Amino acid sequence: MDNKIIKGFVTNINLNSVIIGGISIIAVIIISFFAEGFFSLRNLTNMLYQVSALGLLVLGITPVIIIGQLDLSLVAVMTVSSIIGTLVIGNTGNIALGILVILLIGAAIGAFNGFFVGKMKVVSFIVTLAVMIVGSGVAAYLTKSVTIGNLPEAYFWIGYGRVGVVPVSFLIYITLTIIGFIVMNNHYIGRWIYSIGNNVNASRLSGIPIETTIIFVFVFAGLMASVS
C-alpha cells in the first residue's frame, strides 16, 4: 500500500508542477529580500494560518474541477456554516454540537448543489451562483454586521491554537490533504472522478454512477468549505 501511494505521488509530479514549484521558490526568495522579517517565526506562522483556510477550499473544489464543473458557493458555504455553528456554540456552550452543525450545513448545501447539477442537469455555474448570492444574504441577516460573542476559549483553539509552533488548523489541512490524495489515487471513487473528467459518456457506459459521483463531489466540496 505504501509503495502504491509513493508511486502515485511520483507519477503525478509532471513538468508543470516542477515549473510552478520552482517559480514559487524563486518568488519567496525575492520577496524575502524586500520584506523585512519575512522569515520571522511570526510571519511564517501567519502564512500557515492563511494557507490552511485557502488550502481547504482548494482541496474541496479540486474534484469539482476535475469532473468539469464549477462551485462558486464555497465561500458562502464557509461563511454561513461557521456563523450558524458559532451561534449554536454561543447559545448552548456545546462545541461538539456546533462543529457537527457546521459540517452538516456544509454537506447539506453541497448535496443541494450536487442534486441540481447531477440529477436535474442544471449548469453548475447557475446553481452555485444562486447559492452564493442567497448564502451571502443569509450570512448578513444572521449577524446583522455584529460580532458574535460569548464563545468558549476551547473553540478558538481549533482555529488559532498551536501544537508547538505549528497551527492546529494547518495540521488539520495537511491531514485532510493526505487523506484526499490517497482516496484520489488509490480508491475507486477517485478513479471514478478522474474517469468522469476524462470522458463522461464512456464512464456512463462502463457502469460508473455519474449522478451519485457528482453529488459526492459537491458534498465533499461543501464539507471542506465548512471545515475551512
Which has the closest alpha carbon to 128: 208, 217, 195, 24? 217
Give a yes or no: residue 166 inside a domain: yes
**Structural domain contains residue 195:** yes
Q: Is residue 207 part of a domain?
A: yes
pLDDT of residue 9: 47
Domain count, the chain: 1
Interhelix angle for 74-92 vs 41-66, to 10°?
120
Asked whether residue 24 is assigned to any structural domain, the reply reads no
Domain assignment present for residue 27? The answer is no
pLDDT at 213: 97
Please report whether residue 2 resides in a domain: no
Q: What is the pLDDT of residue 62?
A: 94
How much is the mean pLDDT over the chain? 87
Q: Which 3 state secondary structure label does DSSP give 26?
A: helix
Residue 7 has pLDDT above 90, yes or no: no
CB atoms < 10 A from the CB of 92, how many?
12
Find the domain containing 44 and state its range: 40-227
In this structure, is residue 32 part of a structural domain? no
Mean pLDDT for 138-163 is 80
> Regarding predicted confidence, which is higher, 20 or 78?
78
Q: What is the per-residue pLDDT across 125-148, written as a single tens digit (0 to 9) for each? A: 999 999 999 999 998 888 876 677
Name the grid cell of 193. 472522478
In a domain, 23, yes or no: no
Q: What is the pLDDT of residue 4?
A: 53
DSSP state of 116: I
How far apart CA 104 and CA 117 sit, in angstroms, is 20
Identify the pLDDT of residue 13: 54
Euclidean distance between CA atoms 60 and 182, whole angstroms: 15
Percent of the chain surpassing pLDDT 70: 89
Amino acid at residue number 163: V
pLDDT value of position 11? 52
Question: What's the rounded mean pLDDT across residues 178-185?
Answer: 91
For the segment 193-211, the average pLDDT, to the nearest whole number, is: 94
Strands (DSSP E) contained in 52-196 are 162-163, 166-167
Q: Give per-residue pLDDT as tens, 23-78.
A: 877 877 777 777 777 677 777 788 888 889 899 999 999 999 999 999 999 999 99
